[in-house]
Amino acid sequence: MDYIKIRFGNDFDQLVPKFEKTVEEMFRSMSPMFTLSERAWRPQTDICETSEEIFILAEMAGVSKDDLSVEVNSKAVRIYGKRVGMPVKGNVTYRLAEIQYGKFERVLFLPALIDTDKVTASFSDGFLQIRFAKLARETHKIPISD
């Protein structure tokens, strides 16, 4: 059985500073090949919740499972890796370039605390699915003194 790497931690790396990201997005609208730096793209994701669990479905078309990593703590999940571009042969002129290649990263804050011992991940047909068991909410009755 193949496994997806899941790493547990308390904090995640910071994303590209907001100003640099805004300038880059402005210029990318004029030319999709423009980048200030190697910028992470963000895979599209769905987050669903039931009373017992939370699950995330992330679209990862063209990503190899070996180039995919997941980090989890009780409040958030970080999905990151890279998508390698398709080799282009000969002298090619792009007329449209929407598919993003290179590093990707997505940090998602979970709607409830999760049990980090009960996390599973699977990767099939270009989709990463991560399932989290919610922590049971405990209530404590507090005696009121006179």
| Length of the chain counted residue by residue | 146
Looking at CATH, the fold of the domain delimited by 6-85+99-134 is given as Immunoglobulin-like (2.60.40)
Domain ranges of the chain: 6-85+99-134
Residue by residue, pLDDT tens for the chain (146 residues) are: 556 666 666 555 444 455 555 655 665 555 555 554 456 789 999 999 999 999 999 999 999 999 999 999 988 999 999 999 888 888 888 888 888 899 999 999 999 999 999 999 999 999 999 999 998 877 888 889 98
* pTM passes above 0.75: no
Q: Which DSSP string do the residues of 5-54 spell out, in sequence order?
A: -EEE-S-----S-HHHHHHHHHHHHH-TT--SS-PPB---EEEEE-SSEE
Instruction: Kindly give the pairing relationship between strand 6-8 and strand 68-72.
Output: parallel
